[in-house]
Chains A and B, each alone.
Chain A
């Protein structure tokens, strides 16, 4: 999920030797965090991950897997038109820009722009509030 002007590069596509486990799920991209379906992709360019794969199978047996109904529908869910995702990203980006604009006017706060996230990180300058220790702000 990236904002306009950015290009997503899967981590696995950047590695020709180092194994990569990629964790993902339906939650954020399809806006269904409660449906509880995610995945691990094992990128194993030099064939050293067989024991890891066995370990993943073993650990998956602790809770015997994900939601059966959503798994059955997964082929159709993945076929969701790209317009849905484009629309979602457009709204997220608009909200991020609006939030950044509003926060920028508050003394002591510095907004750090995001390139594709559902949150915004803001730097708080404690020097502008000497009577309020930083720990007090967060507690």
Chain B
């Protein structure tokens, strides 16, 4: 809180910044979240207006109207709302309550078609190991 107060009183944090986020903020995220297995730099980081905006941009950039994305069921209702608002179809893959909500990998495989552009995975509630030749969209906000 004191950091926010200091920046507020400085009058230097009130203007428009780069639309993808301040460099100092992206540097801090890179330092905090980069790992040996998944290194990231500021060139890989884009700051958004909340995670909802991150999901909105991600779904919008990954799929065109008429394509589809795979989303978990049960799952956050916003995924379908965002996709549908862009004319992107949703295909729902089952999560298995009897198996700690792990994704039904066979069901996922059966849903993928030539119009599928991405699979949305909610992590850490669910484990997902099968790799396909498409993009994976991971929501780690929960």
Chain A interface residues toward B at CB < 8 A: 1-2, 6, 8-15, 17-25, 27-29, 33, 36-44, 52-53, 55-57, 59-61, 63-78, 112-118, 121, 123
Contact = CB atoms under 8 A, between A and B. Distances in A.
Given A37-B49, A39-B54, A69-B4, A18 B134 contact: yes
A72 B24 contact: yes
Interface in B20-77: 20-22, 24-25, 27-29, 31-33, 35, 37-38, 40, 43-55, 57-58, 60-62, 74
A66 B17 CA distance: 9
B62 A21 contact: yes
Nearest to B17: A68
Contacts of B107: none
A101 B33 CA distance: 36
A41 B123 CA distance: 14
B44 A38 contact: no
Given A10-B38, A75-B25, A39 B48 contact: yes
A72 B63 CA distance: 32
A60 B15 contact: no
Interface residues of B, number: 68
Contacts of B55: 23
A74 B19 CA distance: 16
A57 B19 contact: yes
Contact of B138 (A6, A23, A61, A113): A23
Consensus secondary structure, chain A interface: mixed
19 contacts: A23-B139, A24-B54, A24-B140, A37-B50, A38-B141, A39-B46, A42-B40, A43-B44, A52-B135, A53-B43, A60-B48, A65-B17, A68-B15, A68-B17, A69-B8, A70-B4, A71-B25, A72-B22, A74-B24
A121 B74 contact: yes
Given A38-B47, A38-B49, A8 B124 contact: yes
B66 to A, nearest CB: 17
Contact of A37 (B13, B47, B129, B132): B47
5 closest cross-chain pairs (CB), A and B? A25-B51, A76-B3, A12-B38, A13-B37, A72-B13
A12 to B, nearest CB: 4
A77 to B, nearest CB: 7
Contacts of B54: 23-25, 38-40
Contacts of A23: 48, 51, 54-55, 58, 137-141
A76 B39 CA distance: 21
Nearest to A23: B54
A105 B60 CA distance: 44
